[in-house]
Amino acid sequence: MTTPDASGQLTEQLMRLARRINRAQKLYLDPVGITPAQARLLRTVAHYEEPPRMADLAQRLEVVPRAVTTLVDALEENGSVRRAQDPANRRVIRIELTDHGRATLRALRESRRAAVEDILAPLSAEQRALLGSLLTELLNGQDRPC
């Protein structure tokens, strides 16, 4: 069991690390030319078997539909996605990745790897493996009731 002081210190360390990861991600995303929110939307679109609807994206990203519209507008403007009518229902608009969007995703993956490598550089291979195990345990614990 952790003491209140240790728990508070761990909380602060996790928050500082999260801020550091966000700064590193932004630094590496700048050359790609998109924001972290746009990157998240692109990754989400890529995970669908068929092009998702705007409502699907809003639900998956846990944001209001207007936020998705704004992100799609910006990504459509830079050529990463396009709106397409659903062949089964003309009233439904689906969001498709373009070739430029797929290239942007590849650049994003490389940028994210570089950002993480910078952060993990001080750790040995064994420490990285341990950290990976601990993070997996924490992520698996998300499904447990609080």
Q: Judge if pTM exceeds 0.85.
A: no
Whether residue 58 contacts residue 19, with contact meaning beta carbons closer than 8 Å, is answered with no
pLDDT in tens, 33-52: 888 899 999 999 999 999 99
CATH of the domain at 134: 1.10.10.10
Residue 45 CA: distances (Å) to CA of 32, 57, 65? 18, 7, 15
pLDDT in tens, 102-118: 999 999 888 888 888 88
Domain span at residue 80 reads: 4-143
Q: 61 CB contacts (<8 Å, ≥6 apart)?
A: 40, 41, 44, 67, 68
Per the structure, the count of domains in the chain is 1
